[in-house]
Amino acid sequence: MSIYFRILTYVRRYWWHLLGSLVCILFFTIFSSASLVSIIPFLKVLFQQQRVEAPPAPLANVSDVQTELESSLTRPIDELRQALENWILTSGKLEALEKLCWIILVLILLKGIFGYLQTYFMAYVEQAVMRDIRNDLYRHLNRMDLAFFHSHRTGELISKITNDVNLINNGISAAFVTLTKNPLLILAYLLLAFYLSWKLTLAVLIILPFGYLIIRLVGSRLRRESTISQEKMADVTSVLQETISGIRVVKAFAMEEFEIKKFFRETYGYFRSLLRMTRVRNLSSPVNEFLGTAIAVGILWFGGRQVLEGNGLAPEEFMAFLMVIFSLMQPIKELSSVSTRLHEALAAGDRIFSLMDMQPAIRNKPNAIQIQAFEKEIEFQNVCFEYDSSEPVLQDISFTVQKGQVIALVGPSGAGKSTLVDLIPRFYDPTSGCILLDGHDLRDLDIRSLRRLLGIVTQETILFNDTVRNNIAYGMDDISQDQIEEAARIANALRFIQELPHGFDTVIGDRGVKLSGGQRQRLAIARAVLKNPPILILDEATSALDSESELLVQQAIERLMENRTSFVIAHRLSTILNADRILVLDRGRIVQSGTHEELVQHPGMYQKLYQMQFRA
């Protein structure tokens, strides 16, 4: 029930629209019932004849008190009906028929108006709740740390934001429309049926306990199948996302058929889960319909005999009773699906809220310090780090970087270089030890204020399917065109941007696919230039480029690094010869430290790397 109440917290924000929908449901029920009642005088007008009232057959064991009680309960309704019939039937049959036609037309019109308004108000509530849940879920995902995204598949997260939220919408409709509208219609129709013939109506009610039992059994099974189905959909979405994002690799290795078979395998699993869920969901409807129809056929036989024998309902009343009973079947049928829809929604809500309840490992402390500028130094004090209590990635890292210095990090793959620089913007926190910025532990600083001091350019350039201008000025609204062009000039990007079809207004495609690797990298550098951060992190920014592009990007990087504290990861030692200090990492430890001239003179890892790269 806690999941249901959490969904209600979103619904109550729009209680005015919900109230409007409920009021419209009430009037819809009134006019729907009235339109059925109007059929009685209509049939009387068409088939009115003198009818000999047979005395009612005596009922066994029924007291005069009970008969009087029944009469007192129905007398006001009888008097009201008699007054309406007298008003309608005072004139001739043709005029009475005309009155009834207008009455029925007006009733159906009012029923339609209130039905439309109810649908609109409820749609507003449903769509607004879906929007709010998606927004909250997306906001929460953006606040999660990198470790969270490394442990969750992208397709699974996308499936929760899309498919699971849609299922919650179905549950809202079931809870507030079906559970309100249909019970009201059922109550109104039952009252009409009891008024017309309480004996026949009691026969209808015999089926309800059997229907409830079936609904309960189907609902519990459906909740399990719904969970499996959504997990299968997440698998499909994940494969699709991986294939599209890695399409270059797929084609390079001629693995199209392999990926197609994998996708077919996942869609077949989803297909099977949907079939199981469809079988379960659709089981209750035909069973309830058959049981209801069996009762209706019994009523036709039993009530029809009474009419023919002249000791039951009048023919027009029996016809009205049949219309009421058959009208009763539709809301009962819709009501039978409520449990299944609610169970689907609760299963989806459980998946969504379990995700929203996850807390990021990296978050602000209470009263975190807002840091405005970088003044002195960054210090690593005995920093150790490991992923998920596995083998240590960094061990006992200690060094100090003064403001304005360029620190280069070199070493073999897996030495821990990227992990070390990931600790500076607090993508991760050290397992032990601490990192100080101007004497403040990074864990005591406000995360956003810390990251505003940083500019990051990585080997894998992340650009967005937007214009060149918006990619350079990412997250900055008050930037002039002159500032954007100056940043592009410093990044050696202005010339190729001006040669694009629409210049700075050119849309560069998903992840910048319409640009070359060197062009994408220079846009990323222009973005960092425009941000103008005092601390710069360059993670192998030129490793994937050809010689010409590398030269242009390296020139842009050197301009970017002027008067900034920079951490540079490079596998090409030619790009870091002028670094103030070079740290050589191996297996998570600093094994050497010094300038290029110092390190190249002493035997060790740096000398070996240098000799391998410059042997020619």
Helix H or strand E encompassing 127:
helix 93-143
Residues constituting the chain:
616
Report the SS3 class of residue 566.
strand
Least Cα distance to 454 among 539, 346, 348, 392 occurs for 539
Are 528 and 598 contained in the same domain?
Answer: yes
Are 290 and 419 contained in the same domain?
Answer: no
CATH number for 209: 1.20.1560.10
Final residue of a structural domain among 356, 390, 407? 356
Are 115 and 246 contained in the same domain?
Answer: yes
Q: What is the pLDDT of residue 185?
A: 79
Final residue of a structural domain among 356, 391, 416? 356
% helix, strand, coil for the chain, step of 5: 65, 10, 25
The residues near 65 (Cβ < 8 Å, ≥ 6 apart) are none
Report the SS3 class of residue 430.
coil
The residues near 142 (Cβ < 8 Å, ≥ 6 apart) are none
Are 300 and 435 contained in the same domain?
Answer: no
Are 337 and 276 contained in the same domain?
Answer: yes
CA dihedral 557, 562, 564, 567 (to 10 degrees): 40
181: left (phi over 0), alpha (psi -120 to 50) or beta: alpha
Are 349 and 408 contained in the same domain?
Answer: no
Are 410 and 343 contained in the same domain?
Answer: no
**Residue 267 class from Cβ within 10 Å (0-12 exposed, 13-18 middle, 19+ buried)?**
middle
Q: Does 368 fall in a domain?
A: no
Q: Does 61 fall in a domain?
A: no
Query: Which residues of the chain carry a pLDDT beneath 50?
Result: 49-63, 65-67, 69-70, 73, 616
Are 399 and 281 contained in the same domain?
Answer: no
The whole-model pTM stands at 0.67
Are 147 and 296 contained in the same domain?
Answer: yes
The residues near 382 (Cβ < 8 Å, ≥ 6 apart) are 396, 397, 398, 432, 433, 434
Q: Does 566 fall in a domain?
A: yes
Q: What is the pLDDT of residue 233?
A: 72
65, 97, 148, 289, 336 from 328: Cα distances, Å? 32, 27, 51, 11, 13
Q: Does 417 fall in a domain?
A: yes
Are 117 and 165 contained in the same domain?
Answer: yes
Q: Does 365 fall in a domain?
A: no
Q: What is the pLDDT of residue 59?
A: 44
Q: Does 82 fall in a domain?
A: yes
CATH number for 487: 3.40.50.300
Q: What is the pLDDT of residue 308?
A: 67
Total domain count, the chain: 2
- CA separation for the pair 13, 152 (Å, rounded): 31
Determine phi and psi for 8, rounding to 5 degrees: -65, -30
Final residue of a structural domain among 294, 326, 356? 356
- CA separation for the pair 165, 493 (Å, rounded): 42
Q: Does 449 fall in a domain?
A: yes
Are 349 and 384 contained in the same domain?
Answer: no
Q: What is the pLDDT of residue 589?
A: 92
Are 461 and 535 contained in the same domain?
Answer: yes
211: containing domain = 2-48+76-356
Q: Does 69 fall in a domain?
A: no
